[in-house]
Structure 1
Amino acid sequence: MLFTGAGKLLENVYIFSWDVCLTLLNLVTPNKKVGSVIPHGSPGAGGKWPEFVPPGEGDSRSCCPALNAMANHGILPHDGRNIKFTDMNKAVRATYNFAPTFCLFVPTFMAGLLKKNYKTDMCDLAEINLHNGIEHDASLTRQDAKYDPDQDKPYLPFIHELLASATGKDKDGNPMLTAADLSRYSGKRRSEAKATNPDYSLDKFHKMFGSSNSSTLLTIFGGKLGDLESLLVEERIPQGWEPRILARKGLTFLTFNRTVLKVENAIKEESVGPVQSNDTAPLI
């Protein structure tokens, strides 16, 4: 499925019209029960996740912690290679309870960026790291591509700072990230990246994409720090975990974008000083 021009427009109209219908269905159908969000027979059903095995030498990984975690648990091929876009669609939907529209659009978009065919082609996870494709500067979990071209490993100082910025509490008093926390930290990352990376680029599209990525921490993961630490630091899904989205048709674009816009619209970028031209990672 690699359309251009009018064909691409019709494809998008179809996907987003379908998404509206799924959103409406979620409003009138009962939610899935806690403990049974993952489909029966799928990896993670009942909170029982396959064994976690960290990536080894030669394994392919991406800038996306959620996809890396799936490979680390063998839900996607552990070596991260030769993954069919159609298989990625099905696996992401079952693992994270995204709506089928989301799980069709993103791999299709990914295939288009890589000049591949969604229906017939495959990719390695590392191919997703194409700079200013899906990967972008001012990530909350990776250094900019100038300092880390591979993008396959989390940058722990950023992640620890993000988690430490949490101001929310759940009903039991446990710390949680909030939309305001993500907006504040995203603004800090953008400001610092702009000031320290002479090759910095982040257009409006990638700003929205960045806020979409971070918003999954609030939606799919519910902002819970214990779960997020496993996902972001180790790229591991905790035993007993299941998606926090209970909607029967999964998380649709229409519902998801309410969180994305809330995060993005509150981001403020502050001036943090002149650009420093160097070829080493900034200490921030």
Structure 2
Amino acid sequence: MSALQSKFTKPFIDIFVLTWDFGLFLLNLVLPPSPPDAVVPAGAPGHAGHWPPYTPPGPNDSRSACPMLNALANHSILPHDGKNITFRRLNTTVRQSFNFAPSFCFFVPAFAANFLGRSYWTGSFDLADLSKHNAIEHDASLTRRDSAEVADQGKPDWELVEELLEGATGEGGRKLTKADLSRALAKRRVECRKRNERYSESLFHNGFGSANSSTMLTIFGGSVDDLRPMLTEERFVEGWQPRILSRFGLTMAAFNGTVLPVELGVKRAKIE
């Protein structure tokens, strides 16, 4: 598809996806949830909480700024080297592994294909490609130092992760809450503005930051015990399954119910 065709058709595709997504959102309201052990489909890696063996990345393996995608590669659900992954395979794998809605799983890889200048239908990428600055990757991440400080965005910053998880206030410190994420994001944005001369921030970047963070509350239910290995070693805990039980998975419409309060809470957070 040419750049001109893509520019012309993108608004129509976006309208279709949002309509599709809202339809799935409505169906999720009336259909019974999936049984907890059947969220990951039978035959797919992770079904009933049984994940393939974990192998840390080697020096030549490609990794992204997203812990969840890196975990899929570390467990060889995506290619372990993190290379030559088709956008369509990413769609299917993320949907099966995390129970995002099919509309969500089309929209994000298609967005990635667009900012990389590739075809969603025929193109492929390496995980590190997704760390293109100010596309999906952004300043003031909760698990990575800014790209101006650390060039390799494929590795988590354990100090940042521990600071985040130690700030959990739900269930006696065992769960992150929306307020915890708002406070952590506010603190990171203040710190990064001071430290990073090339710091950039926009409504779009802030929204993506809140969205990325909100997966901890939706897909992981805020559980510190499950998030610590995911955010530090980028691996699944044996027995872990997505917390979203909706029949058609987590839609963008439902996700906004978490993302918007988290982002709005950033401005209200008191940072010392």
TM category, shorter: over 0.9
How do 1:218-229 and structure 2 match up within 5 A? Answer: 218-229=217-228
Corresponding residue of 1:276: none
What residue in structure 2 maps to residue 152 of structure 1? 154
Q: What amino acid sits opposite 1:229 in the alignment?
A: R
Aligned ranges for residues 18-57 of structure 1 at < 5 Å? Answer: 18-57=20-59
* Alignment match, 2:242: 243
Report the more deviating stretch, 240-249 or 29-38: 29-38
Equivalent position of 2:265 in the other structure? 266
How big is the shift at 1:34? 1.4
Answer 1 or 2: which has greater helix percent: 2
Scaled by the length of structure 2, the TM-score of the pair is 0.96
- Runs of 5+ unmatched residues, structure 1: 273-284
Letter of the 1:124 partner, please give it. Answer: D
- Residue 17 of structure 2 aligns with an amino acid whose one-letter code is I
Deviation, 1:35, is 1.5
C-alpha spacing 1:132/1:270, structure 2 compared with 1 (3 Å): farther
Equivalent residue for 1:74, pick from 73, 76, 87: 76
- The match for 1:123 is 125
Of all paired residues, the percent bearing the same amino acid is 52
Distance 1:20 1:167 in 2: 32
Amino acid at match of 2:167: S
Letter of the 1:162 partner, please give it. Answer: L
Check whether the contact 1:53–1:72 (CA below 8 A) recurs between aligned residues. yes
Alpha-carbon distance in 2 for matches of 1:5, 1:115: 11
Q: CA RMSD in A?
A: 1.4
TM-score for both structures, normalised by structure 1: 0.92
Distance 1:152 1:138 in 2: 15
Give the Cα–Cα distance (whole angstroms) in 1 for the partners of residues 157 and 180 of structure 2: 19
- CA contact 1:191–1:270 (8 Å) conserved in 2: no
Aligned residues: 269
Where do 5+ consecutive residues of structure 2 fail to align? none
Distance 2:173 2:132 in 1: 37
Q: Does 1:192 align with 2:194?
A: no
Distance in 2 (CA, whole Å) between partners of 1:257 and 1:217 is 14
Q: Deviations over 1:72-125 (max 9, x none)?
A: 000100000000000000000000000000000000000000000000010000
Greater than 6 Å deviation, 4+ residue runs: 269-272
Give distance in 2, aligned partners of 1:6 and 1:119: 17
Cα distance in 1 between the residues matched to 2:163 and 2:33: 34
In 1, distance between residues paired with 2:259 and 2:41? Answer: 26
Measured against aligned partners, the alpha-carbon deviations of 1:248-283 in whole angstroms (never above 9, x if no partner) come to 0000000000100010001037788xxxxxxxxxxx
